[in-house]
Each structure stands twice: as structure tokens, then as C-alpha cells.
Amino acid sequence: MLSRERGYNNAMPVIRIPTPLRPYVNGQSEVPVRGSTVAAAMESLMTEFPAMRPHLTSGEGALRPFVNLFLGEDNVRDLQGLETPLGEGDKLLLIPSVAGG
């Protein structure tokens, strides 16, 4: 387990979790992950917290269209998508789209 409670290397990439999804990651606002790409980091997150998978991916394993990932101010879809490289200490922001009417 990579969670804060057990300690982690601050140089690891981190995924910031929005409030509605925090119950699936034991209430954490940030989860340290392993991986040198966005895809690997997301897989690390979903491996550690399997309850997140159906909220983030489709049945085929693709990222759901309403799930947005930002590296800094850039949507990873505008970079190299899931193959966007991550460096030590990078923060991914997980932002699900909100629908309403």
C-alpha cells in the first residue's frame, strides 16, 4: 500500500482525488502512485483501490469520457493522452465532468 498512512516517497507522482470519489480511496485527498506515464499511474491507483475502477474506466478498460486528468493546467488529452510522461513529484488532478440541467 502506498497511502500516506504508511508513508511514501514525496518524489512519487500523486493523483489528487475529488471529494465525491474520496470514499473509494479511504478518504484521502491525494494518493501517491507509481508509474512513468499517466496510464501507469492510473493503473497503480486502480490496483491499490479497485473500487475506483468502475468510476474511471468503461467495461473495455478505456478511460470514461467524463473523466478528465490534468497535469498542471493541461488536460492530458491535449498532451500525449494516457501516454503523457510523468516525472517525480508530478501531480495529476482527477476532475470528473459535472452534468446538470
Residue 101 placed within a domain: no
Residue 5 DSSP label: G
Q: Where are the alpha helices (DSSP H) in the chain?
A: 38-48, 53-56
Report the CATH number at residue 57: 3.10.20.30
CB 67 within 8 A of CB 54: no
**pLDDT at position 51 over 90:** yes
Nearest to 71 by CA among 55, 57, 56, 83: 83
Residue 55 placed within a domain: yes
pTM of the model: 0.84
Backbone angles phi, psi at 15, to 5 degrees: -110, 125
CB 17 within 8 A of CB 94: yes
For the chain, the domain total comes to: 1
Residue 15 placed within a domain: yes
| Residue pLDDT, tens place only, 18-50 | 999 999 999 999 999 999 999 999 999 999 999
Show the domain range for 70: 4-96
Residue 47 placed within a domain: yes
